[in-house]
Structure 1
Protein backbone atom coordinates (compact mmCIF):
# COMPACT_ATOMS: atom_id res chain seq x y z
CA UNK A 1 0.00 0.00 0.00
CA UNK A 2 1.20 3.51 -0.76
CA UNK A 3 0.75 5.63 2.35
CA UNK A 4 0.18 9.37 2.23
CA UNK A 5 2.53 9.78 5.21
CA UNK A 6 4.52 7.60 7.61
CA UNK A 7 5.16 8.43 11.27
CA UNK A 8 8.06 6.77 13.09
CA UNK A 9 8.80 6.39 16.75
CA UNK A 10 12.51 7.04 17.36
CA UNK A 11 14.03 4.84 20.08
CA UNK A 12 14.03 1.21 19.02
CA UNK A 13 12.70 2.01 15.54
CA UNK A 14 15.33 4.27 14.00
CA UNK A 15 18.05 4.12 16.67
CA UNK A 16 19.09 1.22 18.92
CA UNK A 17 18.72 3.36 22.02
CA UNK A 18 16.15 1.57 24.19
CA UNK A 19 18.76 -0.18 26.34
CA UNK A 20 20.73 3.06 26.75
CA UNK A 21 17.73 4.68 28.36
CA UNK A 22 17.04 1.63 30.52
CA UNK A 23 20.58 1.74 31.89
CA UNK A 24 20.20 5.47 32.55
CA UNK A 25 17.04 4.96 34.60
CA UNK A 26 18.82 2.33 36.68
CA UNK A 27 21.68 4.77 37.25
CA UNK A 28 19.21 7.35 38.54
CA UNK A 29 18.26 4.84 41.22
CA UNK A 30 21.72 3.46 41.94
CA UNK A 31 21.28 4.24 45.65
CA UNK A 32 18.17 2.04 45.86
CA UNK A 33 18.10 -1.72 46.42
CA UNK A 34 18.87 -4.11 43.55
CA UNK A 35 15.23 -5.22 43.72
CA UNK A 36 13.99 -1.69 43.04
CA UNK A 37 16.56 -1.24 40.28
CA UNK A 38 15.31 -4.43 38.63
CA UNK A 39 11.74 -3.13 38.82
CA UNK A 40 12.82 0.22 37.37
CA UNK A 41 14.38 -1.52 34.37
CA UNK A 42 11.45 -3.89 33.91
CA UNK A 43 8.95 -1.03 33.94
CA UNK A 44 11.02 0.87 31.39
CA UNK A 45 11.23 -2.13 29.08
CA UNK A 46 7.53 -2.89 29.38
CA UNK A 47 6.39 0.70 28.89
CA UNK A 48 8.17 2.01 25.83
CA UNK A 49 6.64 5.24 24.59
CA UNK A 50 5.78 6.47 28.09
CA UNK A 51 7.50 9.77 28.83
CA UNK A 52 10.43 9.91 31.23
CA UNK A 53 8.38 12.24 33.43
CA UNK A 54 5.59 9.71 33.85
CA UNK A 55 8.10 6.92 34.45
CA UNK A 56 9.86 8.94 37.14
CA UNK A 57 6.53 9.70 38.84
CA UNK A 58 5.80 5.97 38.88
CA UNK A 59 9.24 5.07 40.22
CA UNK A 60 9.06 7.65 42.97
CA UNK A 61 5.51 6.99 44.14
CA UNK A 62 4.99 3.30 43.43
CA UNK A 63 8.46 1.76 43.74
CA UNK A 64 10.14 4.08 46.23
CA UNK A 65 6.92 4.94 48.11
CA UNK A 66 7.69 8.60 48.63
CA UNK A 67 5.99 11.89 47.92
CA UNK A 68 6.97 13.06 44.48
CA UNK A 69 7.02 16.80 43.83
CA UNK A 70 7.16 18.28 40.35
CA UNK A 71 10.51 19.80 41.30
CA UNK A 72 11.84 16.30 42.02
CA UNK A 73 10.51 15.02 38.69
CA UNK A 74 12.22 17.83 36.79
CA UNK A 75 15.48 17.33 38.69
CA UNK A 76 15.61 13.61 37.89
CA UNK A 77 14.52 14.18 34.29
CA UNK A 78 17.40 16.61 33.79
CA UNK A 79 19.87 14.12 35.27
CA UNK A 80 18.45 11.50 32.92
CA UNK A 81 18.91 13.82 29.92
CA UNK A 82 22.48 14.58 30.96
CA UNK A 83 23.25 10.85 30.95
CA UNK A 84 21.53 9.78 27.74
CA UNK A 85 21.58 12.53 25.13
CA UNK A 86 25.09 12.08 23.76
CA UNK A 87 24.84 8.29 24.05
CA UNK A 88 21.68 8.32 21.92
CA UNK A 89 23.38 10.57 19.38
CA UNK A 90 26.17 7.98 19.14
CA UNK A 91 23.92 4.90 19.17
CA UNK A 92 23.74 2.56 16.19
CA UNK A 93 21.04 2.74 13.57
CA UNK A 94 18.42 0.02 13.75
CA UNK A 95 19.43 -2.43 11.02
CA UNK A 96 18.11 -1.20 7.68
CA UNK A 97 16.71 2.07 9.03
CA UNK A 98 18.99 4.42 7.13
CA UNK A 99 18.48 2.57 3.86
CA UNK A 100 14.73 2.58 4.46
CA UNK A 101 14.66 6.34 5.00
CA UNK A 102 16.73 6.87 1.85
CA UNK A 103 14.34 4.72 -0.19
CA UNK A 104 11.25 6.48 1.16
CA UNK A 105 12.83 9.89 0.60
CA UNK A 106 13.48 8.97 -3.03
CA UNK A 107 9.79 8.11 -3.37
CA UNK A 108 8.88 11.54 -1.91
CA UNK A 109 6.95 9.90 0.92
CA UNK A 110 6.32 12.47 3.69
CA UNK A 111 8.05 11.18 6.84
CA UNK A 112 7.62 12.27 10.45
CA UNK A 113 8.94 11.37 13.90
CA UNK A 114 6.64 11.19 16.93
CA UNK A 115 8.50 10.34 20.13
CA UNK A 116 8.09 10.47 23.91
CA UNK A 117 11.47 12.24 24.10
CA UNK A 118 11.10 15.94 25.01
CA UNK A 119 10.78 18.13 21.93
CA UNK A 120 13.98 20.18 22.22
CA UNK A 121 16.12 17.15 23.10
CA UNK A 122 14.64 15.12 20.24
CA UNK A 123 15.43 17.88 17.76
CA UNK A 124 19.02 18.15 19.03
CA UNK A 125 19.54 14.39 18.77
CA UNK A 126 18.14 14.10 15.26
CA UNK A 127 20.14 17.11 14.08
CA UNK A 128 23.35 15.81 15.67
CA UNK A 129 22.83 12.47 13.90
CA UNK A 130 22.31 14.25 10.57
CA UNK A 131 18.80 12.82 10.20
CA UNK A 132 16.71 15.98 9.95
CA UNK A 133 16.99 15.85 6.15
CA UNK A 134 14.61 12.89 6.00
CA UNK A 135 11.69 14.34 7.95
CA UNK A 136 8.96 16.81 7.18
CA UNK A 137 8.25 17.14 10.90
CA UNK A 138 9.77 16.09 14.24
CA UNK A 139 7.44 15.91 17.23
CA UNK A 140 8.19 15.05 20.86
CA UNK A 141 6.79 15.27 24.38
CA UNK A 142 4.80 16.54 26.14
CA UNK A 143 2.17 16.16 23.40
CA UNK A 144 0.93 12.57 23.07
CA UNK A 145 1.63 10.59 19.91
CA UNK A 146 -1.99 10.14 18.86
CA UNK A 147 -2.41 13.92 19.08
CA UNK A 148 0.67 14.39 16.91
CA UNK A 149 -0.74 11.98 14.33
CA UNK A 150 -4.08 13.79 14.21
CA UNK A 151 -2.33 17.15 13.96
CA UNK A 152 -0.11 15.96 11.10
CA UNK A 153 -3.21 14.73 9.29
CA UNK A 154 -5.18 17.92 9.85
CA UNK A 155 -2.39 20.31 8.87
CA UNK A 156 -1.40 18.44 5.72
CA UNK A 157 -4.70 17.03 4.51
CA UNK A 158 -3.72 13.39 4.89
CA UNK A 159 -6.44 10.80 5.37
CA UNK A 160 -5.79 9.17 8.75
CA UNK A 161 -6.64 5.77 7.29
CA UNK A 162 -3.91 6.33 4.68
CA UNK A 163 -1.20 7.00 7.27
CA UNK A 164 1.13 4.49 8.95
CA UNK A 165 2.61 4.56 12.45
CA UNK A 166 5.76 2.50 13.02
CA UNK A 167 6.69 1.71 16.62
CA UNK A 168 8.22 -0.81 18.99
CA UNK A 169 5.90 -0.45 21.98
CA UNK A 170 2.27 -1.04 22.85
CA UNK A 171 1.89 2.70 23.44
CA UNK A 172 2.77 3.24 19.77
CA UNK A 173 0.16 0.67 18.75
CA UNK A 174 -2.43 2.31 20.99
CA UNK A 175 -1.61 5.75 19.57
CA UNK A 176 -2.10 4.48 16.03
CA UNK A 177 -5.41 2.83 16.90
CA UNK A 178 -6.64 5.90 18.79
CA UNK A 179 -5.84 8.09 15.79
CA UNK A 180 -7.23 5.65 13.23
CA UNK A 181 -4.01 4.90 11.34
CA UNK A 182 -2.39 1.64 10.28
CA UNK A 183 0.38 0.25 12.48
CA UNK A 184 3.58 -1.71 11.88
CA UNK A 185 5.51 -3.02 14.87
CA UNK A 186 9.24 -3.45 15.25
CA UNK A 187 9.74 -6.58 17.34
CA UNK A 188 13.03 -6.13 19.20
CA UNK A 189 12.79 -9.48 21.02
CA UNK A 190 10.87 -12.26 19.21
CA UNK A 191 10.23 -13.89 22.58
CA UNK A 192 8.51 -10.79 23.97
CA UNK A 193 5.81 -9.55 21.65
CA UNK A 194 3.93 -6.63 23.25
CA UNK A 195 1.37 -6.35 20.46
CA UNK A 196 -2.05 -8.00 20.09
CA UNK A 197 -2.21 -11.23 18.12
CA UNK A 198 -2.34 -10.58 14.40
CA UNK A 199 -0.38 -7.32 14.51
CA UNK A 200 2.02 -7.04 11.57
CA UNK A 201 5.62 -6.91 12.81
CA UNK A 202 9.17 -6.92 11.46
CA UNK A 203 12.42 -7.72 13.35
CA UNK A 204 14.19 -4.60 12.07
CA UNK A 205 13.87 -2.05 9.29
CA UNK A 206 15.61 -4.14 6.63
CA UNK A 207 12.24 -5.72 5.84
CA UNK A 208 10.24 -2.51 5.95
CA UNK A 209 9.76 -1.94 2.23
CA UNK A 210 8.60 -5.53 1.71
CA UNK A 211 6.17 -5.16 4.62
CA UNK A 212 4.44 -2.29 2.82
CA UNK A 213 3.41 -4.54 -0.06
Structure 2
Protein backbone atom coordinates (compact mmCIF):
# COMPACT_ATOMS: atom_id res chain seq x y z
CA UNK A 1 0.00 0.00 0.00
CA UNK A 2 1.34 3.42 -0.96
CA UNK A 3 1.91 6.04 1.75
CA UNK A 4 -0.33 9.13 1.74
CA UNK A 5 0.51 11.72 -0.89
CA UNK A 6 2.22 14.79 0.59
CA UNK A 7 3.13 16.89 -2.46
CA UNK A 8 2.61 17.08 -6.22
CA UNK A 9 5.13 18.14 -8.88
CA UNK A 10 4.02 19.22 -12.35
CA UNK A 11 5.81 19.59 -15.63
CA UNK A 12 4.51 22.72 -17.37
CA UNK A 13 4.38 22.34 -21.16
CA UNK A 14 1.74 19.80 -22.09
CA UNK A 15 0.67 19.31 -18.47
CA UNK A 16 -0.46 22.75 -17.30
CA UNK A 17 -0.23 24.68 -20.59
CA UNK A 18 -1.31 23.45 -24.04
CA UNK A 19 1.96 24.66 -25.53
CA UNK A 20 3.39 21.59 -27.27
CA UNK A 21 2.23 22.39 -30.82
CA UNK A 22 3.17 26.05 -30.52
CA UNK A 23 6.66 25.25 -29.27
CA UNK A 24 7.16 22.66 -32.02
CA UNK A 25 6.35 25.31 -34.61
CA UNK A 26 8.76 27.71 -32.90
CA UNK A 27 11.48 25.05 -33.09
CA UNK A 28 10.79 24.69 -36.81
CA UNK A 29 11.08 28.44 -37.28
CA UNK A 30 14.29 28.59 -35.22
CA UNK A 31 15.90 26.24 -37.74
CA UNK A 32 14.42 27.85 -40.85
CA UNK A 33 17.98 28.28 -42.17
CA UNK A 34 18.20 24.48 -42.78
CA UNK A 35 14.81 23.70 -44.38
CA UNK A 36 15.94 20.28 -45.55
CA UNK A 37 16.39 19.20 -41.90
CA UNK A 38 13.38 20.89 -40.31
CA UNK A 39 11.12 17.82 -40.19
CA UNK A 40 13.82 15.70 -38.54
CA UNK A 41 14.66 18.48 -36.09
CA UNK A 42 11.04 19.02 -35.07
CA UNK A 43 10.53 15.28 -34.61
CA UNK A 44 13.57 15.12 -32.35
CA UNK A 45 12.22 18.06 -30.38
CA UNK A 46 8.85 16.34 -29.93
CA UNK A 47 10.42 13.01 -28.99
CA UNK A 48 12.45 14.68 -26.24
CA UNK A 49 9.94 16.99 -24.62
CA UNK A 50 11.52 16.87 -21.17
CA UNK A 51 14.96 17.98 -22.38
CA UNK A 52 16.26 21.55 -22.23
CA UNK A 53 16.35 23.47 -25.50
CA UNK A 54 20.12 23.92 -25.23
CA UNK A 55 20.73 20.17 -24.91
CA UNK A 56 18.56 19.74 -28.02
CA UNK A 57 20.56 22.36 -29.92
CA UNK A 58 23.80 20.53 -29.13
CA UNK A 59 22.38 17.18 -30.24
CA UNK A 60 20.92 18.66 -33.44
CA UNK A 61 24.22 20.20 -34.46
CA UNK A 62 26.25 17.12 -33.55
CA UNK A 63 23.99 14.34 -34.86
CA UNK A 64 21.71 15.90 -37.49
CA UNK A 65 23.58 18.84 -38.99
CA UNK A 66 27.02 17.30 -38.31
CA UNK A 67 28.42 20.72 -37.52
CA UNK A 68 30.25 22.27 -34.60
CA UNK A 69 28.05 24.49 -32.43
CA UNK A 70 29.82 27.45 -30.87
CA UNK A 71 28.71 29.05 -27.63
CA UNK A 72 27.74 32.19 -29.54
CA UNK A 73 25.60 30.22 -32.00
CA UNK A 74 23.92 28.34 -29.15
CA UNK A 75 23.01 31.60 -27.44
CA UNK A 76 21.62 33.06 -30.68
CA UNK A 77 19.46 29.97 -31.18
CA UNK A 78 18.22 30.22 -27.60
CA UNK A 79 17.41 33.90 -27.97
CA UNK A 80 15.59 33.32 -31.26
CA UNK A 81 13.52 30.47 -29.86
CA UNK A 82 12.70 32.38 -26.67
CA UNK A 83 11.63 35.38 -28.73
CA UNK A 84 9.26 33.21 -30.76
CA UNK A 85 7.54 31.63 -27.75
CA UNK A 86 7.69 34.27 -24.99
CA UNK A 87 4.58 36.33 -25.70
CA UNK A 88 2.59 33.30 -26.81
CA UNK A 89 3.28 31.57 -23.48
CA UNK A 90 1.45 34.41 -21.72
CA UNK A 91 -1.78 33.70 -23.60
CA UNK A 92 -1.65 30.03 -24.67
CA UNK A 93 -4.65 28.05 -23.32
CA UNK A 94 -4.17 26.00 -20.19
CA UNK A 95 -4.87 22.27 -20.18
CA UNK A 96 -8.57 21.70 -19.42
CA UNK A 97 -9.09 21.56 -15.67
CA UNK A 98 -5.75 23.19 -14.81
CA UNK A 99 -7.15 26.25 -13.04
CA UNK A 100 -9.68 24.26 -11.04
CA UNK A 101 -7.10 21.67 -9.99
CA UNK A 102 -4.51 24.25 -8.95
CA UNK A 103 -7.03 26.22 -6.90
CA UNK A 104 -8.26 23.10 -5.10
CA UNK A 105 -4.99 21.26 -4.50
CA UNK A 106 -2.81 24.24 -3.62
CA UNK A 107 -5.00 24.53 -0.52
CA UNK A 108 -4.27 20.94 0.45
CA UNK A 109 -0.69 20.09 -0.54
CA UNK A 110 2.50 21.87 -1.63
CA UNK A 111 2.58 22.04 -5.44
CA UNK A 112 5.73 22.49 -7.53
CA UNK A 113 6.69 23.03 -11.16
CA UNK A 114 9.71 21.20 -12.56
CA UNK A 115 10.21 22.19 -16.20
CA UNK A 116 12.86 22.00 -18.90
CA UNK A 117 12.18 25.68 -19.60
CA UNK A 118 14.97 27.93 -18.27
CA UNK A 119 14.11 28.69 -14.66
CA UNK A 120 14.05 32.49 -14.95
CA UNK A 121 11.77 32.23 -17.98
CA UNK A 122 9.52 29.72 -16.21
CA UNK A 123 9.18 32.02 -13.20
CA UNK A 124 8.22 34.92 -15.45
CA UNK A 125 5.61 32.85 -17.29
CA UNK A 126 4.04 31.71 -14.01
CA UNK A 127 3.94 35.29 -12.73
CA UNK A 128 2.45 36.70 -15.95
CA UNK A 129 -0.16 33.94 -16.07
CA UNK A 130 -1.18 34.51 -12.44
CA UNK A 131 -0.12 30.98 -11.53
CA UNK A 132 2.88 31.59 -9.28
CA UNK A 133 0.90 31.78 -6.04
CA UNK A 134 -0.36 28.23 -6.48
CA UNK A 135 3.17 26.82 -6.20
CA UNK A 136 5.52 26.38 -3.27
CA UNK A 137 8.43 26.37 -5.73
CA UNK A 138 9.20 26.62 -9.45
CA UNK A 139 12.24 24.88 -10.91
CA UNK A 140 13.66 24.93 -14.43
CA UNK A 141 16.75 24.22 -16.48
CA UNK A 142 19.71 24.07 -16.53
CA UNK A 143 19.22 21.83 -13.50
CA UNK A 144 18.20 18.29 -14.51
CA UNK A 145 14.66 17.38 -13.52
CA UNK A 146 15.82 14.52 -11.30
CA UNK A 147 18.05 16.90 -9.33
CA UNK A 148 15.14 19.33 -8.91
CA UNK A 149 12.90 16.55 -7.63
CA UNK A 150 15.54 15.40 -5.13
CA UNK A 151 15.86 18.98 -3.90
CA UNK A 152 12.09 19.23 -3.40
CA UNK A 153 12.00 15.95 -1.48
CA UNK A 154 14.87 17.11 0.71
CA UNK A 155 13.45 20.52 1.54
CA UNK A 156 10.12 18.94 2.49
CA UNK A 157 11.68 16.03 4.38
CA UNK A 158 9.57 13.40 2.69
CA UNK A 159 10.19 10.04 1.06
CA UNK A 160 9.87 9.55 -2.72
CA UNK A 161 6.72 7.45 -2.35
CA UNK A 162 4.95 10.43 -0.79
CA UNK A 163 5.45 12.61 -3.89
CA UNK A 164 3.79 12.51 -7.31
CA UNK A 165 5.24 13.85 -10.57
CA UNK A 166 2.81 14.60 -13.41
CA UNK A 167 4.54 14.74 -16.80
CA UNK A 168 3.98 14.19 -20.49
CA UNK A 169 7.38 13.11 -21.84
CA UNK A 170 9.50 9.96 -21.53
CA UNK A 171 12.17 12.12 -19.90
CA UNK A 172 9.65 12.99 -17.17
CA UNK A 173 9.05 9.31 -16.49
CA UNK A 174 12.81 8.75 -16.43
CA UNK A 175 13.22 11.49 -13.80
CA UNK A 176 10.46 9.90 -11.72
CA UNK A 177 12.08 6.47 -11.94
CA UNK A 178 15.51 7.89 -11.06
CA UNK A 179 14.15 9.58 -7.94
CA UNK A 180 11.57 6.97 -6.94
CA UNK A 181 8.58 9.31 -6.95
CA UNK A 182 5.18 8.26 -8.24
CA UNK A 183 4.33 9.20 -11.83
CA UNK A 184 1.17 10.01 -13.74
CA UNK A 185 1.31 10.74 -17.48
CA UNK A 186 -0.81 13.30 -19.24
CA UNK A 187 -1.64 12.21 -22.81
CA UNK A 188 -3.94 14.60 -24.65
CA UNK A 189 -6.91 13.11 -26.48
CA UNK A 190 -5.78 12.05 -29.94
CA UNK A 191 -2.07 11.93 -29.06
CA UNK A 192 -0.02 8.73 -29.12
CA UNK A 193 -0.02 7.04 -25.72
CA UNK A 194 3.60 6.14 -24.94
CA UNK A 195 2.93 5.39 -21.27
CA UNK A 196 0.12 2.88 -20.68
CA UNK A 197 1.60 -0.36 -19.41
CA UNK A 198 5.05 1.11 -18.77
CA UNK A 199 6.69 0.24 -15.44
CA UNK A 200 6.46 3.14 -13.02
CA UNK A 201 3.37 4.72 -14.59
CA UNK A 202 0.58 4.88 -12.02
CA UNK A 203 -2.09 6.27 -14.35
CA UNK A 204 -2.62 8.06 -17.66
CA UNK A 205 -4.97 11.06 -17.81
CA UNK A 206 -6.28 13.06 -20.75
CA UNK A 207 -6.66 16.35 -18.88
CA UNK A 208 -6.52 17.82 -15.40
CA UNK A 209 -10.21 17.28 -14.72
CA UNK A 210 -9.39 13.57 -14.93
CA UNK A 211 -6.34 14.03 -12.73
CA UNK A 212 -8.40 15.91 -10.16
CA UNK A 213 -10.91 13.05 -10.00
CA UNK A 214 -8.07 10.54 -9.64
CA UNK A 215 -6.45 12.52 -6.82
CA UNK A 216 -9.74 12.66 -4.91
CA UNK A 217 -9.54 8.87 -4.62
CA UNK A 218 -5.89 8.95 -3.47
CA UNK A 219 -4.96 9.04 0.24
CA UNK A 220 -3.26 12.34 1.08
CA UNK A 221 -1.59 13.91 4.09
CA UNK A 222 -2.43 17.61 4.01
CA UNK A 223 -0.82 18.26 7.39
CA UNK A 224 2.68 18.14 5.87
CA UNK A 225 2.75 21.39 3.92
CA UNK A 226 5.99 23.36 4.07
CA UNK A 227 4.37 26.56 2.85
TM normalised by structure 1 equals 0.94
Q: Indicate conservation of the 8 Å contact 1:153/1:159, yes or no.
A: yes
For 2:191 and 2:155, locate their aligned partners in 1 and report how far apart those are by CA, in whole Å.
39
Aligned to 2:102: 101
Give the counterpart of 1:27 among 29, 53, 61.
Answer: 29
- Tell me the matched-pair count: 211
- Greater CA deviation, 175-184 or 62-71? 62-71
Q: Indicate conservation of the 8 Å contact 1:4/1:159, yes or no.
A: no
SS in 1 for 2:90: helix
Q: CA deviation at 1:194?
A: 2.2
Q: Indicate conservation of the 8 Å contact 2:196/2:204, yes or no.
A: no
Task: For structure 1, list consecutive stretches of 5 or more residues without a partner in the other structure.
Answer: none
Residue 17, structure 1, aligned to residue 19, structure 2: yes
Q: Indicate conservation of the 8 Å contact 2:98/2:209, yes or no.
A: yes
SS in 2 for 1:183: strand
- The structure with the greater share of residues assigned to helix is 1
For 1:197 and 1:154, locate their aligned partners in 2 and report how far apart those are by CA, in whole Å.
30
Aligned to 1:42: 43
Aligned to 2:185: 185
For 1:189 and 1:44, locate their aligned partners in 2 and report how far apart those are by CA, in whole Å.
20
Q: Indicate conservation of the 8 Å contact 1:118/1:141, yes or no.
A: yes
- Once the two structures are superposed, the pairs formed by residues 51-200 of structure 1 within 5 Å of their partners are 51-106=52-107, 108-188=108-188, 190-195=190-195, 197-198=197-198, 199=201, 200=203
Q: Indicate conservation of the 8 Å contact 1:146/1:179, yes or no.
A: yes
TM normalised by structure 2 equals 0.89
Q: CA deviation at 1:191?
A: 4.9
